[in-house]
Amino acid sequence: MTASRDPDRLLERAGVSGNPDRDQHFLVDERVLDRLPTHLPADVDRSHVLEIGGGTGALTDRLLATCDRVTTIERDPALAEFLRREFDAEIDAGRLTVVHGDALDVTLPDATASVSNLPYGVSSEIAFRLLPLGIPTVLMFQREFAERMAAASGSDEYGRLSVSAGHYADIEVVEPVPPTAFSPPPAVESAIVRTTPRDPDYAVDDEAFFLRFVKALFTQRRKTLRNAVRNTAHISGLADPDAVVAAADESLMSRRAGDVTPDEFAALATLAADVGRGDDDD
């Protein structure tokens, strides 16, 4: 099957033009739209693909041409109704489900992959709903966000986002996308990111504490870890940060968060949980 719907004609039929104030930037470049599904690895299970932000259905059309079944979530009631009219045959055939609702609140389906042009204002929150599902994704982000998501330790872009996303998956920036690919054009460059789920090469006993601990330390990324651990106990939930500093390796405590690898963060978080959380922590 091949996609048959022109993105500009879809905008006309839907009677919309996009609204930057509502974080509405419709992807209309057919070349980018055609490539988006191809960024999923060839061996990925395409039996049920989730799309966040169906819009006028330009990407939905491409997903239906390359996948067995699609669920699209759209928060705008008028656009959700338009999708139901535009794709009534595909819905009747059981190949498309349109969910009206906020992707941050609705129950996500049991999908095998996700390909989405995310609304940028909530892209981080949506990404971290998808990543723990352990499914492959191809997602559109602001380019700066995408590069931080994929950054390696020691680079300028490396931060809490890099460690947190990398905890769940391998992250790759696979294609830059210019503002002209959208209607209306956003004020920023965009990029397509592929995430491939895998277990991290380290172990943590308490994932929630690990992620909270990393978040805390990166709020003080210009400080040494010694000072960052002490200054952010109210964020990480440590009852005795001095005990963590005393028990940790001195050379590690002299470094800054941006130079610490994910496995080193994991080891430090395990130590912090053991000696610094107190008896009343979960």
| DSSP secondary structure letters along 159-170 | SHHHHHHHTTEE
Distance CA 282, CA 120 (A): 34
In a domain, 282, yes or no: no
Q: Which of 214, 226, 222 is nearest to 252 (CA)?
A: 226
Residues 137 and 226 in one domain: no
pLDDT band at 1 (very low <50, low <70, confident <90, very high): low
Mean pLDDT of 270-278: 91
In a domain, 27, yes or no: yes
Residues 62 and 132 in one domain: yes
Is 147 a known ligand-binding residue?
Answer: no
Residues 185 and 216 in one domain: no
CATH no. for residue 183? 3.40.50.150
Mean per-residue pLDDT over the chain, rounded: 95
Domain count along the chain:
2
Last residue in a domain, options 197, 215, 238: 197
Residues 109 and 172 in one domain: yes
**Taking 70 as the threshold, does the pLDDT of residue 68 lie above it?**
yes
What is the model's pLDDT at position 282? 45
Residues 168 and 49 in one domain: yes
Residues 139 and 257 in one domain: no
What is the model's pLDDT at position 24? 81
Is 102 a known ligand-binding residue?
Answer: yes
**Taking 90 as the threshold, does the pLDDT of residue 278 lie above it?**
no
Distance CA 240, CA 90 (A): 58
What is the model's pLDDT at position 207? 95
Residues 265 and 177 in one domain: no
Is 227 a known ligand-binding residue?
Answer: no
Is 166 a known ligand-binding residue?
Answer: no
Q: Kindly report which listed range (173-182, 234-243, 269-278) carries the lowest average pLDDT score.
A: 269-278
Displacement of CA 41 from its chain's centroid (Å): 18
Is 53 a known ligand-binding residue?
Answer: yes
Residues 192 and 214 in one domain: no
Q: Which of 122, 79, 80 is nearest to 100 (CA)?
A: 80
Distance CA 213, CA 81 (A): 43
**Taking 90 as the threshold, does the pLDDT of residue 198 lie above it?**
yes
Is 231 a known ligand-binding residue?
Answer: no
Q: Which of 52, 60, 47 is nearest to 106 (CA)?
A: 52
pLDDT band at 2 (very low <50, low <70, confident <90, very high): low
**Taking 50 as the threshold, does the pLDDT of residue 183 lie above it?**
yes
Residue-number span of the structural domain to which 21 is assigned: 7-197
Residues 133 and 243 in one domain: no
Reported as type and span, the H/E element at residue 18 is none
**Taking 50 as the threshold, does the pLDDT of residue 246 lie above it?**
yes
In a domain, 57, yes or no: yes
Residues 169 and 220 in one domain: no
CATH no. for residue 224? 1.10.8
Last residue in a domain, options 197, 231, 249: 197
User: pTM of the entire structure?
Assistant: 0.92
Residues 59 and 81 in one domain: yes
**Cβ-contact 214, 279 below 8 angstroms:** no
Residues 17 and 82 in one domain: yes
